[in-house]
């Protein structure tokens, strides 16, 4: 028997205290993905009750590299709150995370309400701007190990987002080279084409998936399209830059 409220508190407490927890499926091997989305919502509702604001959603496991890295092969989503937003160039505190990793992503800024089954053209018509971004993921599970329902319940590992300069929605984002560097040394190289072949497909998937939960992507919200490369672990002293062909650079520095 799944207690959604109790498990929502379990993952929320782990995120707030940066404490690694055992996988929920160890105790609840019968947990399904739809239960996990209810737990995710319960954990984010706790944040909203504490005064955080919902600012958008993140798509996860949208590239082959990511699916292989975590051994899960289904596109998932999670919720972003204002507390997760970091300034471009900011310094984050390693101690506030369990085992953070960085992923280069594309961000969409929503200009018109978007939800449900839409074509790529309809999805793009709802976009106001696009930007290069870094997502900080931080699975709360011990050893970064989880099943699909586990990771969904844990808000799809979402924990931070850094957005670079916004560009008009007509800007090409379908096949841009990306270099992720740590202290000037490349650690991952990829292309935005690795995001489901084109990041707009991730936006189409976001519209469809959030609609199942009765959610609408509202003007002003951000949609993170998903990592284009494997995620890179963040260690103290690292400055991590994601440099995108034609879109520029997004950076983050890690302190104690
Ligand atoms: O954003 C992502 O693709 C991450 C989804 C969850 C899996 C992970 O924590 O790596
Ligand atoms: Mg991601």
Q: What is the CATH number of the domain that holds 103?
A: 3.90.850.10
pLDDT digits (tens, 9 = 90+) for 56-83: 999 999 987 777 877 777 899 999 999 9
Ligand 1 close to Cβ of residue 123 (< 6 A): no
Asked if 132 contacts 214 with a C-beta cutoff of 8 angstroms, the reply is no
pLDDT of residue 67: 79
Q: Which residues pair with 250 in a beta bridge?
A: 242
Structurally, how many domains does the chain consist of?
1
Which atom of ligand 1 sits closest to the CA of residue 105? 1
The contacts of residue 72 (CB under 8 Å, 6+ apart) are: 61, 146, 147, 148, 151
Range of the domain at 155: 4-255
Q: Which two tokens stand for residue 25?
A: 């499926």
Distance 49 CA to ligand 2 centre (A): 25
If you average pLDDT over every residue of the chain, what do you get?
96
Ligand 1 close to Cβ of residue 70 (< 6 A): yes
Distance 58 CA to ligand 2 centre (A): 7
pLDDT of residue 88: 96
Is the pLDDT at 124 greater than 90? The verdict is yes
Asked if 46 contacts 12 with a C-beta cutoff of 8 angstroms, the reply is yes
Residue nearest to atom 1 of ligand 1 (CA): 60
Q: Is 59 helix (H, G, I), strand (E, B) or coil?
A: strand
Question: From the CA of 144, which ligand is nearest?
Answer: 1
Which atom of ligand 1 sits closest to the CA of residue 157? 9
Provide mean pLDDT across the span 167-191: 97
**How is residue 171 annotated by DSSP?**
S
Percent helix, strand, coil in the chain, to 5, is: 30, 30, 35
Query: Greatest CA separation found in the chain?
Result: 51
Asked if 256 contacts 234 with a C-beta cutoff of 8 angstroms, the reply is no
Residue nearest to atom 9 of ligand 1 (CA): 157
Instruction: Sort 8 into a burial class: Cβ within 10 Å, 0-12 / 13-18 / 19+.
Output: buried
pLDDT digits (tens, 9 = 90+) for 104-123: 999 999 999 999 999 999 99
* pTM (predicted TM-score): 0.96
Q: Which two tokens stand for residue 21?
A: 């927890």
pLDDT interval class at 1 (50, 70, 90): confident
């Amino acid at each position: 028997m799944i207690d959604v409220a109790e498990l929502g508190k379990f993952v929320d407490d782990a995120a707030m205290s940066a404490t690694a927890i055992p996988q929920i499926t160890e105790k609840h091997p019968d947990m399904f993905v739809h239960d996990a989305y209810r737990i995710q919502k319960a954990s984010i509702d706790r944040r909203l009750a504490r005064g955080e604001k919902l600012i958008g959603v993140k798509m996860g496991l949208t590239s082959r590299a990511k699916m292989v890295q975590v051994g899960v092969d289904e596109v998932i989503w999670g919720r972003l709150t204002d507390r997760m937003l970091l300034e471009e160039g900011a310094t984050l505190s390693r101690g506030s995370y369990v085992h953070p990793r960085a992923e280069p992503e594309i961000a969409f800024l929503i200009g018109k309400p978007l939800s449900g089954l839409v074509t790529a053209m309809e999805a793009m018509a709802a976009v106001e701007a696009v930007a290069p971004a870094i997502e900080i993921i931080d699975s709360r599970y011990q050893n970064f190990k989880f099943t699909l329902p586990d990771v969904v319940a844990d808000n799809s590992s979402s924990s931070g987002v850094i957005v670079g300069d916004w560009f008009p929605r007509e800007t090409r984002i379908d096949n841009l080279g990306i270099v992720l560097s740590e202290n000037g040394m490349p650690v991952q190289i990829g292309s935005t084409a690795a995001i489901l072949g084109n990041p707009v497909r991730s936006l189409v998937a976001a519209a469809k998936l959030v609609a199942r939960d009765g959610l609408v992507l509202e003007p002003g919200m951000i949609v993170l399209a998903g990592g284009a490369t494997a995620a890179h672990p963040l260690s103290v002293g690292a400055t991590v830059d994601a440099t995108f062909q034609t879109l520029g650079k997004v950076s983050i520095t890690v302190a104690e």
